[in-house]
Amino acid sequence: MELSERKRKILAAVVDLYIVTGEPVGSKALCDNLDFTVSSATVRNEMSELAEMGLLEQPHTSAGRIPSQKGYRVYIDTLMKKRPVTSEEQRYIDSLLLPSAYDPEKLLDGVARALAGMTKYAAVSTTPGGSGADIRAIQFVQTSRRTAMAIIMTSTGAMKSRVFHCDFDLTPDILRVFFRVLNEKLAGLPVATVTPAYIQSLAASLGEMTMLMSDALMAVLDVAQDLMQTEVCLDGEMNLLYHRDLGQSEIRRIMDFLSRPQELSRLLMQQSNGLKVLIGEESNRPELSESSVIVSRYNVAGREAGAIAIIGPTRMNYGKIMSNMEYLSGSVGRMLTELLDTE
Amino acid sequence: MELSERKRKILAAVVDLYIVTGEPVGSKALCDNLDFTVSSATVRNEMSELAEMGLLEQPHTSAGRIPSQKGYRVYIDTLMKKRPVTSEEQRYIDSLLLPSAYDPEKLLDGVARALAGMTKYAAVSTTPGGSGADIRAIQFVQTSRRTAMAIIMTSTGAMKSRVFHCDFDLTPDILRVFFRVLNEKLAGLPVATVTPAYIQSLAASLGEMTMLMSDALMAVLDVAQDLMQTEVCLDGEMNLLYHRDLGQSEIRRIMDFLSRPQELSRLLMQQSNGLKVLIGEESNRPELSESSVIVSRYNVAGREAGAIAIIGPTRMNYGKIMSNMEYLSGSVGRMLTELLDTE
DNA sequence: ATTTAGCACTCAACAGACAAGAGTGCTAAA
DNA sequence: TTTAGCACTCTTGTCTGTTGAGTGCTAAAT
């Protein structure tokens, strides 16, 4: 059976209506929301065929219809009308991000917060990660008599620091040694080079300085490994509590998943470029089988970098949210790219 | 009516039993949990008097008794036996904290996480805050052509940084100027001195350098204000979902409160030294009227500094949790004090 | 060949009735 | 003062009947 124009309109109307009311939509109610007039009986016939095709389903015999996951899929792919972002919203989004535009990690943190605030769902963002980055410089700053901070800056604008402690008093001279030795050895190398093994061999090659530098080396290793990881920022988990289509146990399952950053970031990073919607089972995650994920990868300097995403009930206002996310991920990419250019 | 020894024992037994079962406890069940033998009828009489005194209450006529908030208060103040922390637990707690013992903020973050993990409730911790701290030094590190990082170290071992952007290319010389000028003017002063007004007047006094330094000044102001604030670390909010005595709406109210860091930190910081339990209404917060807060202030170098706390349902295992928290807040205070000493 | 009106049918949701069970309060005896 | 016994109360679960929304089907209308 193929999808006639009228069926398409009816499916779209069912989804639209269901999204706003949250109630199964019946034939009568639907009639009032169509841009052509037919009787409820006709609509009933069409709906029953849509159900046969697997696009609608019935909670029980005498209830209205709700979209199936497959129905949402068709809706999103071909029926939905994207609601363009108003310039006011654009200004609002940009104003949220701008204050932290000079630090990738803070920026992505702000993105998650903004996204959660705008959508009222749980929001996630991942930082670009360090896989393609080179070490540009390593700085040392004394922070107390026996502690100092190691800071690594990368070619992609990322930057991390770690305070470390030595068992002897630090002096500017010692810090200068740290600086000279480590920049000599590491500057220009990909961050990924700095593995425990590499640091070990580096330490071995330092001769009598090994002892002096071991704390600093460990700190640098630590920071480098931190830089390699794509950081996962999470916000608005609480928002999930306020959606009546998510039950207690459903919420718990989602929260469980959200508390495992590695899996979360893997799910996001394996999506291809652009905007993707994973409806229920499509994510292949049992914990998310009743909820939807909207992911948008963002590009930095033309290369696929991190991702932003929201997680919520399957019933959500896709049109509005998707266009907002599209704009947001564009903004993020642009800001991070600019950050790179000015380096 | 005064509290006979037998009444005290019965009240204690009711609370103990209720804490483990979560069910209203009846006279029969209670008989088996007393260290003396009386009939259920006697127990019934005693319980009915305890109810009259406002220490127990009945969900409905034909149910067992549960402790009232006043009952919990008496239990905690005079009946409860604290369960000492085993040395194994001590080692476990210390092992969780040690890795981040060199950075107050990370440490308190770790404390919140540890506390949430141990108790299965929502945990909060606050950093000491900068009210008593002096600026020890301000460092500048170039992070890209036009961006640099300003780092303030304080006399209390706290440290914060902020990346800022200039509209001109930075050079080591310029950074040296930043360093010299700002340390000359600000080092040794209380962090609290650095207000917008103060920075403004400082800027005015710099003459032709004002333009050059304005971005750096703003960054320093920002960092100083950040340092003044006691940071609030939150963890384990999700844990609340798993307690059956907290209803959906109850959880929401708590989460609402938890999402307002200023009020949260105010509540904690207004508690006096040591370990305090706020049962339901005692916190004077409508949002917390059905839940309990256990707060423990910790001392750094003998002075009251921050606080750690957990928030959960009124029915919790006070004995165990309170002793754990007592030990934990002692550890935190000790670590932060040591951090101070080595400076 | 569609579309529509009409009608019987189904099922969730709600409310009332009833039995079972837990626990109490009271009374009278020990 | 304590205890045994008993009537009483109130929740919980189950069962029943009713209501109403919405369907599917059929036969008439377009």
Q: What percent of chain B has pLDDT over 90?
A: 80
Q: Which of B274, B268, B281, B269 is nearest to B310 (CA)?
A: B268
pLDDT of residue B342: 64
- Chain A interface residues facing chain B, Cβ-Cβ under 8 Å? 102-103, 136, 139, 141-147, 149, 151, 153, 157, 159, 161, 163-165, 237-238, 241-242, 248, 251-252, 255, 259, 342-343
Residue with tokens 């009124």, as numbered in its chain? B314
Beta strands in A34-127 (DSSP E): 56-57, 66-67, 122-126
Chain B residue numbers with beta carbons less than 8 Å from the beta carbon of A165 are 102, 342
Check whether residue A60 has its CB closer than 7 Å to nucleic acid strand C: yes
Amino acid identity for residue B277 in this structure: V
Residue with tokens 């040694």, as numbered in its chain? A177
Residue with nearest Cα to nucleotide D4 C1': B41
pLDDT of residue A102: 80
* Nucleotide in closest CA–C1' contact with B51: C24
Amino acid identity for residue B163 in this structure: V
Distances from the Cα of B129 to the Cα of B112, B154, B159, B160, B298, angstroms: 16, 11, 11, 12, 12
Chain B residue numbers with beta carbons less than 8 Å from the beta carbon of A102 are 147, 163-165
pTM: 0.89
> What is the count of residue pairs from A and B with beta carbons less than 8 Å apart?
68
pLDDT of residue B248: 86
Whole-number average pLDDT of chain B: 93
Strand C proximal residues, B:26-55, Cβ < 7 Å: 26-29, 40-41, 44, 47-48, 51
Between CA B306 and CA B333 the distance in angstroms is: 9
Q: What is the pLDDT of residues B39-74, one digit of tens each?
A: 999 999 999 999 999 999 999 999 999 999 999 999
Chain A residue numbers with beta carbons less than 8 Å from the beta carbon of B103 are 163
Between CA A259 and CA B236 the distance in angstroms is: 10
Task: Kindly give the parts of chain A with pLDDT less than 70.
Answer: 1, 342-343
Neighbours of A157 (CB within 10 A): 26
Chain B residue numbers with beta carbons less than 8 Å from the beta carbon of A120 are none
In three-state secondary structure terms, A38 is coil
**In angstroms, what separates the C-alpha of A254 from chain B's closest C-alpha?**
11
- Which nucleotides of chain D have an atom under 7 angstroms from any protein CB? 2-5, 8-11, 20-26
Q: Do A145 and B241 touch (CB under 8 A)?
A: no
pLDDT of residue B155: 84
Residue with nearest Cα to nucleotide C5 C1': A41
Q: Do B144 and A342 touch (CB under 8 A)?
A: yes
pLDDT of residue A342: 63
Q: Which of B152, B154, B158, B163 is nearest to B108 (CA)?
A: B158
Distances from the Cα of A260 to the Cα of A76, A184, A257, B20, B240, angstroms: 28, 38, 6, 30, 18
Distances from the Cα of A67 to the Cα of A51, A64, A213, A288, B178, angstroms: 9, 10, 63, 17, 62
Task: Kindly give the parts of chain B with pLDDT less than 70.
Answer: 1, 342-343
